Homo-oligomer: A and B are copies of this chain.
Amino acid sequence: VVLCDTSHPGNVGAAARAMKTMGLSELYLVNPRCFPHPEAEWRAARASDVLARAHSCATLDEALHGVAYAVACSARSREMAVPIASARQAAARLVEIARQQTGALVFGNEASGLNTGAVNKCQLLATIPSSPQYSSLNLAAAVQVMTYEVRLAALAPAVAARSGELAPHEQVEGFFDDLERTMVEIGFLDPAYPKRLMPRLRRLFARAELEKEEVNILRGLLKALRHPVKHQ
């Protein structure tokens, strides 16, 4: 990550924290104002190691030395600049290249962003989709979004795994039998006029994708309801 002409030390610290949470550690500071600074340390929280190892550079060229693919991050689109992509597309492209060569994310000053000269030193201009009413993300927030997209692109798509074992068909059906019988017994379900009660409840529990242990709880609950033991 390359930060150019950053004004507020707090943003440098917050950017370091954003990077570290996304597993990145190489920070380059081009011509930073007020760095090092206690505010940067404070905002970095437990990413002070990233700050301590940050490279200070006089120019963007120096920071990009050896970099094969640099992505300029800017809210402003501009004529005659490099190709433009969304943050997500840019991250995918960057990661593809960074598997073998060095890549960089380049960010500009808080007030003015990257100038056109700096953008044109990069291979791609990435924009974070934002509201037309207010498109100016905080610098560290933009670093967080871009590094988040880079991390997701770098990881194989993680699927949310569920922990519990699903209940087999016969257990679920046994539960529905219990439920229906109980409802008939207590007069909640009239077998002569069942309406759509059981189908509705089936739909609800089908959506829940009941786990084994959950079916046991529910059947235990129904059993207890039929044979209540008054609590003291």
Interface residue ranges, A against B (CB under 8 Å): 14, 17-18, 20-23, 43, 45-47, 79, 83-86, 88-89, 128-131, 133-138, 140-141, 144-145, 148, 151-152, 155, 158, 160, 162-163, 182-188, 190, 197, 200-201, 204-205, 207-211, 213-214, 217, 220-221, 224-225, 228-231
Contacts and interface: CB of A to CB of B under 8 A. Distances in A.
Give the interface centre of A85, A128, A148, A229 by most chain B CB atoms within 10 Å: A148
B200 A213 contact: yes
A228 B217 CA distance: 21
Tally of this chain's copies = 2
Given A151-B130, A208-B205, A21 B186 contact: no
Nearest to A151: B129
A89 B158 CA distance: 11
Contact of A128 (B46, B148, B210, B230): B148
A200 B214 contact: yes
Nearest to A126: B160
B217 A197 contact: yes
Contacts of A184: 231
Contacts of A137: 17-18, 21, 144
Given A85-B160, A141-B141, A209-B207, A186 B130 contact: no
Contact of A138 (B14, B89, B130): B14
